[in-house]
Amino acid sequence: MEAYIVDWLNLLVRWVHVITGIAWIGASFYFVWLDNHLELPKEPGDDAKGVGGELWSVHGGGFYHAQKYRVAPASIPETLHWFKWEAYTTWMSGMAMLALVYWYGAEVYLINPAVADLSPAQAVGISIAYIVGGWFVYDLLCKSPLGSDTRVFAIVLMLLCSLLAWSVCQLFGGRGAYIQFGSVLGTIMVANVFFVIIPGQKKMVASAMRGEAPDPTPGIHAKQRSVHNTYFTLPVLFVMTSNHYAMTYGHEYNWVILIGISLVGALIRIYFVARHKGQASLLPVIVSVVLLAAIAAAIAPRPQAAGGVIVNFDQVRNVVQARCTTCHAEAPVHPAFPAPPMGIMLDTDERITAEAARIHQQTVVTRVMPIGNLTAMTEDERQIIDQWYQGLQDP
């Protein structure tokens, strides 16, 4: 019953996370697009009022006229819409999922003894330290002299993100490492909103309401963090979907793949931001395509000869029953799984044969199963699976 309740909590929290994430990313992308499409106001009176740019658009059968003030209007309207709870609820639901899946289930999803022999308490403690420490390091960098040089800061940030990717992959199982990387970046994004963007906006509003000329500095800092957030978004989205693709996180060089695909996400965002400004170059797209093609080629499974070794199916059945059916059966006995993961059952000869390609991919090629090697599958047993599968391909 406990696993069933946790599954329901997981479903509900994941649903909230997806909904609020869409709302946050949608609003963020829209305002970046809006900023980059603003034109100088056509009416002289608007310029005199402090309007720095405007944009006309049509959507849903109506016309919209958006104006952005250089600093603030002469008087603050009674109704002023803020965009913050989308970010906060995305982070809170994301942390709830991290706790439910990766902290509560640390032995299954976060720890891999073959990578680092950690206790659940140690793994969770390190995970929290990364999340908190990541924000402090990033925030201090933004406030340092490096923060004023966009290009130098971008290079330093890329190097630190690469170090983050490498280090988490040395501590956690691949799936958990990828989520840890995304959790650090996601926390930085929402902390930017909570500690910098919203407080800066509140200061500007308070000054305007007192009839004072607002200090533009908080707005400049908020803009910097907002730009950083837009480049973090696609790498974080990749990480949040990566658990479906063991070929990435399960690879020997999973940290290189993580860095490469994260860079691709940032490059794609660079292209679209430049395109919004009318300065689009195809170079980021070309580099992204080349990087993805190189990654796909590098991690593609290499066909191997069976080597003439004959494997009796009884040997395969014994391995699968000992190492896989704890979870992949009609009635799993592992307490973390009230139902077989992804509906895959391997408790009969017919089911084992039908899933031969998947078994080989997960236990031999990516080596992500058994998850966290919970059932201690040996190298000899992986060889049995490999020889059996190769024999099926070359009868």
Supply the DSSP string of 239-251, one letter for each residue: HHHGGG-HHHHTS
Q: Is the pLDDT of residue 338 over 90?
A: no
pLDDT score of 395 more than 60 = no
> Is residue 306 pLDDT above 70, yes or no?
no
In the chain, what is the straight-line distance between the N-terminal and C-terminal CA atoms, in Å? 46
Q: Which two tokens stand for residue 151?
A: 């290009």
SS3 79: coil
Q: What local confidence, expressed as pLDDT, does residue 282 receive?
A: 94
Q: How far is CA 80 from CA 30, 76, 203, 257, in A?
A: 18, 8, 14, 43
Rounded CA-CA distance 360/369 in Å is 10
Q: Three-state DSSP class for 51?
A: strand
Compute the mean pLDDT over every residue in the chain, rounded to the nearest whole number. Answer: 92
Output the pLDDT for position 194. 97
The pair of structure tokens assigned to 263 is 């860079």
Helix (H, G, I), strand (E, B) or coil at 69: strand
- Contacts of 186-189 with CB under 8 Å at 24 or more apart are 186/90, 186/91, 186/94, 186/232, 186/236, 187/91, 187/131, 187/134, 187/135, 188/134, 188/135, 188/138, 188/228, 188/232, 189/87, 189/91, 189/228, 189/229, 189/232, 189/233, 189/236
Tell me 66's DSSP state. E
Strand 51-59 to 62-69 pairing: antiparallel
Q: Which whole number is the average pLDDT over 245-256?
A: 93
* Contact status, residue 384 vs residue 299, Cβ threshold 8 Å: no
Of 180-184, 244-248, 355-359, 388-392, which range is least confident?
Answer: 388-392
In total, the chain counts a number of residues equal to 395
Amino acid identity at 2: E
| pLDDT band with cut points at 50, 70 and 90 for residue 371 | confident
**Domain coordinates in residue numbering, the chain:** 2-26+80-299, 313-393
Q: Residue 303 has what pLDDT?
A: 65
Residue 242 and residue 178 in contact, taking contact as beta carbons nearer than 8 Å: yes
User: Residues 352, 316: contact at Cβ < 8 Å?
Assistant: yes
Q: Quick one: tokens of 160?
A: 């630190």
Is the pLDDT assigned to residue 350 strictly greater than 70? Answer: yes
What pLDDT is stored for residue 309 in this prediction? 67
pLDDT number for residue 215 = 84
Q: What are phi and psi of 164, to 5 degrees?
A: -60, -45
Please give the share of the chain, as a percent, with pLDDT higher than 70.
97
